[in-house]
Amino acid sequence: MLRSHLDLEFAKLLAAAMLLLSFVMLSTRRTQQLITLFAWQGTILFLSTVLVAHDAGVTELYFSAALTLILKVITLPLVLHFLIRRLGAQWDNEPLVNIPVTMLVGLVLVIFAFGLAQPISILATTIMRHTIGIALSVILLSFLMMITRRKAVTQVIGFLAMENGLFLAATSATYGMPMVIELGIALDLLVAVFILGIFFFQIREQFDSLDLHHLESLREE
């Protein structure tokens, strides 16, 4: 009983750290710091998956945790760091909306997410069921980061952070997704990042910038 209580408290602590990192990512301007924060999100996701696997005795979740560690803590951050070094994209980001307004909107989204998650949490049976609201909050905050930033690299990081929230929600509600689906998603993420890397180089070569508003000039022509 004591171990179960400690596991529950640790699960809540991990989820709270995940939410805090989402807010920090929302307010961070430097691309390199965003990638580091994304890697820390992956680390928390790895620990929470191991916790659920240990509590439920689901061996498959250990493989999911290992996949998260390899892909989101090591591989993707390294690839993204390599891309921004080659592109010279270490500069500060320029959000479309100022940071205080963005944070205020983020708080509203968190309140909305917790209200939306309450009936789902009642039906769930996992140790992480109380963190479903946080998982939905991470998804919404990541989406908010995507739509309030100009740079293509930042929007990709927001997309990857949103996938972290989706994975946390799946683990919190249903002990995760089947392994074949997770492997497919992992492969899709790797392919997407490499394709987007090529896309970044093309934008940089054409416009000497990664600001996506330059693409509007092509549409106007």
Q: What is the Cα–Cα distance from 21 to 41, expressed in whole angstroms? A: 7
pLDDT at 105: 92
pLDDT band at 120 (very low <50, low <70, confident <90, very high): confident
Instruction: Give 24-42 pLDDT, tens digit per residue.
Output: 998 887 888 888 999 999 9
pTM for this one?
Answer: 0.78
> Which positions ≥6 away from 11 have C-beta within 8 Å?
48, 51, 52, 127, 128, 130, 131
3-state secondary structure of 30: strand
Percentage of the chain exceeding pLDDT 70: 67
Averaged pLDDT, 108-123: 83
| Lowest mean pLDDT across 95-109, 164-178, 186-200 | 186-200
pLDDT band at 21 (very low <50, low <70, confident <90, very high): very high
3-state secondary structure of 126: coil
**Does residue 5 surpass a pLDDT of 50?**
yes
pLDDT at 1: 39
Residue 91, CA distances (Å) to 24, 32, 33, 48 in order: 17, 9, 11, 33
pLDDT at 11: 79
pLDDT at 2: 35
Q: What is the rounded average pLDDT for all residues in the chain?
A: 76
